[in-house]
Copies of this chain bind each other. A is one copy, B any other.
Amino acid sequence: MSLKFNPAASELTAEEIATLKEMRIRCARRILLSTSLAASGHPGGSLSSLDMLLVAYGLINHDPADPRMAERDRMVESIGHISPGVYSVLAENGYFTEEDFLIGFRRTGSGFPGHVESIVPGVEWDTGNLGQGLSTAVGMAHAFKIQGRKNRVFCLMGDGEQQKGQIVEAIRHAVKYKLDNLTVLIDRNKLQICGSTEDIMPQCMQKLYGGLGFNAVVVKEGHDYQALYQAMREAYRNISGVPTVLVVKTVMGKGISFMENKAKYHGSPLPADMLADALTELGVDNDFAQWQERRKEPVSTATIMLPRADYPEIQPGEPIVYAADKKTDCRSGYGNALLGLAEANNTPGEPPVITGVSCDLEGSVKMGGFHKHSPEGYLELGIQEHHAAAAAGAMSCENMVTFFSTFGSFAVSEVYNQNRLNDFNHTNLKVVATHVGLDVGEDGPTHQCIDYLGLMKNYFRFSVFIPCDPNQTDRIIRYIATQPGNHFVGMGRSKTPTITKEDGSAFYDADYVVIPGRADWLRRGADATIITYGAVTPACMEARQILKDAGKSVGVLNMASLIPLDEQAVADAAALGPIVTVEDHHADTGLGASVALTLMDKGLSPKLRRLGVKQYGGSGSPADLYKQQGLDGASIAATVQELLG
């Protein structure tokens, strides 16, 4: 059943409290049953968080009949493992039946996975890796502030996960941007998997959040409904400009005498005999055996929610064509396109639709023009990339287009797992990384991202584009803005020649249309093909000229769309003769590897040589570094020549 409080009331009525107590018994039963049925899962924290969840769902604005209604408040469970508690409370509120949950929990293909996922009606975000949910909640809360929406955000967290450093990054963001629509609930049961939080890594949460600028409130009686209601209500109505954390003192395994305060029950379900005792203690019938029987039925998929579909209609604006006779960095192409998108879509006086996030690199990633045009849409999150990537992912799901930009080493390598979680969540994030590859030059190996493809290939829902010049950059940036889903665009640091047609005009002119999975033949050739992309494209054009002067006809194929790959173009190249792949990337994990895979899958066996980065880069000029690794025009030409014999 559902219970709806009136937040104007300063306290709960006796009837409401009585109802909560009844709901608690039913939910506790489901928590115990579901985990014992699955023979896995996390009953202890589910029981300690249960009262918070029950009160929260009575307080917040939500509608089981319309789980994605725009005005709903958000509940993000950073502790994804307390799914039994969450599903129990959602069932209680009518999101689905107890039957669906108990039969499906932790079964392949069902709608009730082991860590909370947004396929479950009422669940907002897929979580599981600890310490990440607050970033999500902060991203949502910030989006609502930008949009002037009244939605509130609650984030339920564990106390163990407070150890994670990403949390202080999220806290600082919330404080800096005055996100008073955010309430953090910490389930302070003092236990984590390996024992007492005070033994594992002691800390005072009130001091941590309070010291960083939150209004930090300790709720001493974390299973007292009146105390919970009063604290949560005050936070819910807070308009002070200061976000709230409630450190709620609870008991692991609350309500089952022999489970209380035992770390073991963090992740262990009860065996059948102990379950029987627990159900007796709750005063409910033991129908374990019946449910066990029912779990032999095939799983139902009826409750499964599809990914969120809202995405704003975006005008790409007028393409900017960079002259053929001038060098321009792709970064500037990005910055100008982003400004163009803001001009075409962000109406002055209205909430911005195009938003941008960076980490102390606004100038380097060329977001300055955008920042000036749409100040409310630009977030400076400091040197806090883990949080920034996660928060940007959450923002991108609130009917706005979010660009996250920093250097490749941070946007890709440092936040690999945060973007993995974004990918699980079907976010609409546009990750635009500058400073990828050896092109970074003198700053050396720590700043040279040579694994952007090698890493991004491990996701299933990110597209990857690496443009070769500012014109192609402009078109790709405008294109991805119009598209839902996750997209990655990478580019180097240096100014680069405009790629031209044979007639000397810009190859990527105003008429160029981006088609994912479509490569471009910059030049056709009869004897062999160089497949390339990004910063080394001019070197490949130079190699082609060297070979032409030596009487060889070599094509250059620009594979700017790397995921998806133009497999047909690879096959076409294979039909012509030898292939040399050239990239500013680890030689074994980038385009060369993708081409090898495509060829093997298609049963094609042309001669293939893969040029790329074969050792960590040095500190020096890009030209010197390229030469050192055989990626300059002359070396590329020599490699092709060798294959041609």
Using CB atoms and an 8 Å cutoff, list the residues of chain A in contact with chain B. Answer: 38, 40-41, 80-81, 106-110, 112-115, 117, 126-131, 160-161, 163-169, 172-173, 176, 192-194, 199-203, 207-208, 211-212, 360-364, 380-384, 386-387, 409-410, 413-414, 416-417, 420-421, 423-424, 441-447, 450-451, 454-455, 457-458, 460, 586, 588-589, 592-593, 596-597, 599-601, 603-605, 607-608, 610, 615-616, 618-621, 624-625, 628
Q: Is the CB of A442 within 8 A of B106?
A: yes
A231 to chain B, nearest CB (A): 23
Instruction: List chain B residues, Cβ under 8 A from A112.
Output: 619
Question: Most chain-B Cβ atoms within 10 A of its Cβ — which of A176, A212, A364, A442?
Answer: A442
On whether A129 and B410 interact (CB within 8 A), knowing A40-B442, A193-B363, the answer reads: yes
Instruction: List chain B residues, Cβ under 8 A from A421.
Output: 446
The CA-CA distance from A249 to B185 in the complex, in Å, is 37
On whether A203 and B172 interact (CB within 8 A), knowing A410-B129, A615-B460, the answer reads: yes
Q: Is the CB of B455 within 8 A of A416?
A: yes
Q: Is the CB of A163 within 8 A of B383?
A: yes
Please tell me which one of the listed residues B106, B131, B416, B450 contacts residue A416 in the complex, with CB atoms under 8 A apart: B416
On whether A194 and B363 interact (CB within 8 A), knowing A108-B618, A165-B164, A409-B417, the answer reads: yes
22 residue pairs A–B, Cβ–Cβ below 8 Å = A106-B442, A106-B619, A106-B620, A108-B619, A108-B621, A110-B619, A115-B619, A127-B446, A129-B414, A130-B383, A160-B383, A163-B360, A164-B169, A164-B384, A165-B384, A176-B202, A194-B360, A199-B380, A201-B380, A413-B420, A596-B599, A600-B600
The CA-CA distance from A176 to B107 in the complex, in Å, is 41
Q: Is the CB of B163 within 8 A of A165?
A: no
On whether A109 and B446 interact (CB within 8 A), knowing A211-B207, A380-B194, A409-B417, the answer reads: no
The CA-CA distance from A234 to B454 in the complex, in Å, is 48
Q: Is the CB of A589 within 8 A of B457?
A: yes
In the complex formed, the residue of B with least CB distance to A129 is B446
On whether A607 and B603 interact (CB within 8 A), knowing A115-B446, A169-B163, A203-B212, the answer reads: yes
Instruction: List chain B residues, Cβ under 8 A from A445.
Output: 126, 128, 424
Instruction: List chain B residues, Cβ under 8 A from A444.
Output: 113-115, 117, 128
Instruction: List chain B residues, Cβ under 8 A from A628.
Output: 108-109
Question: How many chain copies?
Answer: 2
Q: Is the CB of A167 within 8 A of B165?
A: yes
On whether A362 and B599 interact (CB within 8 A), knowing A41-B442, A211-B211, the answer reads: no
Q: Is the CB of A165 within 8 A of B169?
A: yes
The CA-CA distance from A603 to B604 in the complex, in Å, is 10
In the complex formed, the residue of B with least CB distance to A361 is B193
In the complex formed, the residue of B with least CB distance to A263 is B363
Instruction: List chain B residues, Cβ under 8 A from A40.
Output: 441-443
Q: Is the CB of A38 within 8 A of B442?
A: yes
17 additional A-B pairs beyond A128-B445, A200-B360, A457-B586, beta carbons within 8 Å, are: A108-B624, A163-B384, A165-B387, A172-B202, A192-B382, A193-B361, A193-B363, A194-B362, A194-B380, A201-B381, A201-B383, A416-B417, A423-B616, A454-B457, A593-B593, A596-B596, A603-B607
Please tell me which one of the listed residues B194, B360, B387, B447 contacts residue A128 in the complex, with CB atoms under 8 A apart: B447
Instruction: List chain B residues, Cβ under 8 A from A202.
Output: 172, 176
Please tell me which one of the listed residues B126, B201, B212, B457 contacts residue A176 in the complex, with CB atoms under 8 A apart: B201
Q: Is the CB of A619 within 8 A of B113?
A: yes
Please tell me which one of the listed residues B109, B168, B193 contacts residue A168 in the complex, with CB atoms under 8 A apart: B168
Please tell me which one of the listed residues B163, B409, B460 contacts residue A129 in the complex, with CB atoms under 8 A apart: B409
The CA-CA distance from A387 to B207 in the complex, in Å, is 21
A245 to chain B, nearest CB (A): 15
Instruction: List chain B residues, Cβ under 8 A from A382.
Output: 160, 163, 192, 200-201
Please tell me which one of the listed residues B107, B109, B126, B620 contacts residue A107 in the complex, with CB atoms under 8 A apart: B620
Please tell me which one of the listed residues B200, B387, B443, B597 contacts residue A380 in the complex, with CB atoms under 8 A apart: B200
Instruction: List chain B residues, Cβ under 8 A from A442.
Output: 38, 40-41, 106, 114
Instruction: List chain B residues, Cβ under 8 A from A460.
Output: 615-616
A198 to chain B, nearest CB (A): 10
A80 to chain B, nearest CB (A): 7
Q: Is the CB of A446 within 8 A of B608?
A: no
The CA-CA distance from A169 to B40 in the complex, in Å, is 30
A200 to chain B, nearest CB (A): 5
The CA-CA distance from A628 to B110 in the complex, in Å, is 13
Q: Is the CB of B458 within 8 A of A586?
A: yes
Instruction: List chain B residues, Cβ under 8 A from A593.
Output: 593, 596-597
Question: Most chain-B Cβ atoms within 10 A of its Cβ — which of A194, A387, A441, A588?
Answer: A194
The CA-CA distance from A383 to B295 in the complex, in Å, is 35
In the complex formed, the residue of B with least CB distance to A173 is B201
Please tell me which one of the listed residues B106, B114, B193 contacts residue A364 in the complex, with CB atoms under 8 A apart: B193
Instruction: List chain B residues, Cβ under 8 A from A384.
Output: 163-165, 201
The CA-CA distance from A332 to B442 in the complex, in Å, is 47
Instruction: List chain B residues, Cβ under 8 A from A200.
Output: 360, 380, 382
A298 to chain B, nearest CB (A): 11
The CA-CA distance from A41 to B169 in the complex, in Å, is 28
The CA-CA distance from A619 to B269 in the complex, in Å, is 17
Instruction: List chain B residues, Cβ under 8 A from A386.
Output: 165, 386
Instruction: List chain B residues, Cβ under 8 A from A454.
Output: 454-455, 457-458, 589
A620 to chain B, nearest CB (A): 3
A411 to chain B, nearest CB (A): 11
The CA-CA distance from A41 to B620 in the complex, in Å, is 11
Please tell me which one of the listed residues B106, B165, B167, B443 contacts residue A114 in the complex, with CB atoms under 8 A apart: B443
Instruction: List chain B residues, Cβ under 8 A from A610.
Output: 601
